[in-house]
Amino acid sequence: MCSGFVLSQAQGPKAKINTVVIDAGHGGKDPGCHGGFAHEKEVCLSMALKLGKRIKENYPHINVVYTRQTDVFVELIERANIANKANADLFICIHANSGASSAYGTETYVLGLHRTESQQKVMERENAIVSLEDDKGAKYKAFDLTADAMIAIQLQQNVNLNNAIKFAQFLQKEFKGIGRSDRGVKQAGFLVLYKTAMPSVLIETGFLTNPNEERFLGNVQGQDQMAKAMFDAFVSYKSQYEGKTITSPVIPPNPPKDPIASDPKPVVPKEGGGNKTPTNEVFFSVQILSSDSKVPLSSPKFKGLKVYEYRQNDVFKYYSGIFIKDLSGAKKYREEMVAKGFSSAFVIAFSGEERVSIEKAIKLAEK
């Protein structure tokens, strides 16, 4: 699990975000969780570096500090110390989750009392890392994680906690906007957040134990998309924190495309029933499956849905639902697809036979 964003300054009319600390979870002898091929420590580091690069490119005046930039082991308390010594205005901790192979989605944590058994398990797994430290976690025995202590900390750091929650909400909104399942903003007693002197957030980007989510998070383009979502949340939060109004979105140079989508001119094969691009208009749809081999459109895998196929980089991809110039309709349909069992479903866009980014489709639809 990764640690989160932390704000140290009290809000005011002249409040500024000057320093951001980004914490890539795990590292070195602590690999974190893993799937069939992806390891948490590597996935988190990639997203952390991508996020930091975006912030620095768009806001050169902001000091971006990393708790690690390579595959090294960093103690939990040292991660907090780095943020405190840097007088950080925001602390960002990035993790990946583990669970049943059917578990999916993103969730963002702030420091507090866990309310469910699943939240407790996530906290215990992340806190268990202290057993790898030289003193086997002895330094943390004085940390009071009881209910009374957590309530006291929340009262003492009321402004920081409120800011952390606001940022967490922006994060979850952006994750949902790129088609990720929203598991919500939650609280738990994470040791990595316990000693930070600022608002802090720990992001669980997805489940590496779910093969579909592993393919997304273990892929460079999926990592790009997650980093961009975090950056967009940062832009919204920074604007609110500094008392500004966003008049136009900040578009980083060379914005990433949808996950595993690098060829701007996908081939759309035609099949027996005239299964071709359904319209020459700009439309949004929901991709529900990708496969190295061709899947019959009548396959039980599609659960009776009307699906369309396109081929990209020698991968066959299948989408359902045609929403002409209707992004909100596609987003609602994606939620239906997730509920139907397509846990990695996400929104895509086409202009005729060309697959395009969501941003480009929105602009085309407005013309």
Maximum C-alpha span of the chain? 69
- 183/89 same-domain check: yes
| Last residue of one domain, picked from the residues 177, 209, 241 | 241
- Do 69 and 203 have their domain in common? yes
pLDDT per residue over 16-71, tens digit each?
899 999 999 999 998 989 899 999 999 999 999 999 999 999 999 999 999 999 99
Q: Is residue 1 domain-resident?
A: no
pLDDT at 117: 55
Percent of the chain with pLDDT over 70: 71
Q: In this predicted model, what pLDDT tens digit does every residue of 130-175 receive, in sequence order?
A: 456 666 556 555 555 565 555 555 544 566 788 888 999 999 999 9
Has residue 114 got a pLDDT over 80? no
Q: Which pLDDT score, from 0 to 100, does residue 181 have?
A: 93
Confirm whether 86 is domain-assigned.
Answer: yes
Q: Which of 194, 193, 222, 207 is nearest to 91 (CA)?
A: 193
How far is it, in rounded angstroms, from Cα 332 to Cα 113? 32
Six-digit token string for 110: 């702030």
- Name the pLDDT band for 269 (thresholds 50, 70, 90): very low
Residues 228 and 349 in one domain: no
Residues 235 and 324 both lie in one domain: no
Query: Does residue 201 sit in helix, strand or coil?
Result: strand
Q: 220 vs 268, which has greater pLDDT?
A: 220
H/E segment holding residue 233: helix 220-241
Domain membership of residue 223 (yes or no) is: yes
User: Is residue 236 domain-shared with residue 286, that is, in the same domain?
Assistant: no
- Same domain (yes/no): 223, 326: no
Q: What is the mean pLDDT of residues 324-350?
A: 87
Give domain status of residue 297, yes or no: yes
Tell which residue, 190, 150, 196, 199, has the closest CA to residue 170: 199
What range does the domain containing 357 cover?
282-366
**In the chain, how many domains are there?**
2
Same domain, 171 and 293: no
Residues 230 and 125 in one domain: yes
Question: H helices of the chain, where?
Answer: 40-58, 76-85, 117-127, 147-156, 158-177, 191-194, 211-217, 220-241, 327-339, 358-366
- C-alpha distances in angstroms, 355 versus 211, 294, 359? 25, 19, 12
Q: Say what the pLDDT of residue 315 is.
A: 77
pLDDT at 107 exceeding the cut of 90: yes
CATH of the domain at 144: 3.40.630.40
Q: Of the segments 4-8, 262-266, 290-294, which one has the largest average pLDDT value? A: 290-294
